[in-house]
Amino acid sequence: MFPADNYWHADIRGLPVDAHSAQWLAAMGAGSHNLHPDFGPSYGEQPVPYGIPVTVVPAGHPRVSVVFDYADESDKLPYPLGTDTLIEGGANADGDRHAIVVTADTCELFETWDTHSSASGWTAGSGAHWSLTSDALRPDGWTSADAAGLPILPGLLRWDEVAAGHVNHAIRFTTNLTDATHRWPARHDASSHHDGSLPPMGARFRLKASFDISKYSPQTQVVLRAMQTYGLVLADNGSPWYFQGTADNAWPDTVISQLKTIPASAFEAVDTSGLRISPGSGAAR
């Protein structure tokens, strides 16, 4: 899931607290919010689990043209979409309708937002493509299937990694008010607010080392340890302190319930400027 030196895998335990941390936390209502896992079993509320599904396609999967609303910031190449493509929320869902597709043979990642298929072909709001073996970033100023211009997949929490006992990456999350700026490696922002007290896209937050995780289940501790080591990355506008995972009915009620009790006030923003090696690369020190 991108090279080992990639920003998503960077250990942030030793980074300094960002000078804007208190302001950003206040703007995000940290004093009155808990974390909200935006994934898990839907218990009949929708036909598929909550969360963002991932489709892995085999070698030789057909690729199709996609018509984009934001064509000037979308990667224009054939996408491996088809009847097997899983859509966030289900085939008839409203909402973001993200599609994430990985090619098993070439390790390419394709992501689209507001994804639809009809008799006349495939359409989407925007689309982006990455090589999972490269640290290359999108052009600065370009969106992706996320407002921050970042890939979604490396920031999704997955049950298979939690069950295995180790999460080695930061986790994607949202908030409702953001600044009209972005921080490396984010490439894009989506706000009309020019206010430094609001967090920018790409801001990274760490669960404080002093937060006691010992009273939680072993699986919940795996997630909290990742939040202390790799943190959360602000990737899109949405509900405050909602963080994303894969759509999977295997997520246990205990883990979901316990994660909903973690206070947002237990986090702090970190200064990631020291991680950057090159503006156009996601490789981190």
pLDDT, averaged per 10 consecutive residues of the chain (285 residues), comes to 97 98 98 98 94 97 97 97 97 95 97 96 98 98 97 98 98 97 97 95 98 98 98 97 97 98 98 96 97
Give the pLDDT of residue 22. Answer: 98
* Residue 2, pLDDT score: 97
Provide the pLDDT for residue 83: 96
- pLDDT of 114: 98
Contact status, residue 195 vs residue 162, Cβ threshold 8 Å: no
Q: Return the exposure string of 125-141: e unless at least 16 CB atoms fall within 10 Å of the residue's CB, then b.
A: bbbbbbebeebebbeee
Helices (H) and strands (E) in the chain, counts: 4, 13
DSSP structure class, residue 284: B
pTM of the complete model = 0.96
Residue 126 gets which letter from DSSP? E
CB 217 within 8 A of CB 169: no
Q: Which residue from 191, 199, 213 is spatially nearest to 241, judged by alpha carbons?
A: 199
**What is the structure's pLDDT at 103?**
98
- Residues 230 and 9: beta-carbon distance below 8 Å: yes
Distance CA(156)–CA(2), nearest Å, equals 13
Q: What's the burial of 225, exposed, middle or buried (CB within 10 Å: 0-12/13-18/19+)?
A: middle
pLDDT at 256: 98
**Do the bridges between strand 171-175 and strand 232-237 make them parallel or antiparallel, or are there none, so unpaired?**
parallel
Cα 209 to Cα 14: distance, rounded to the nearest angstrom: 10
At 86, list the tokens: 């899983």
- 175, β-bridge pairs: 237
Of 89, 88, 92, nearest to 101 by C-alpha is: 88
Distance CA 267, CA 284 (A): 22
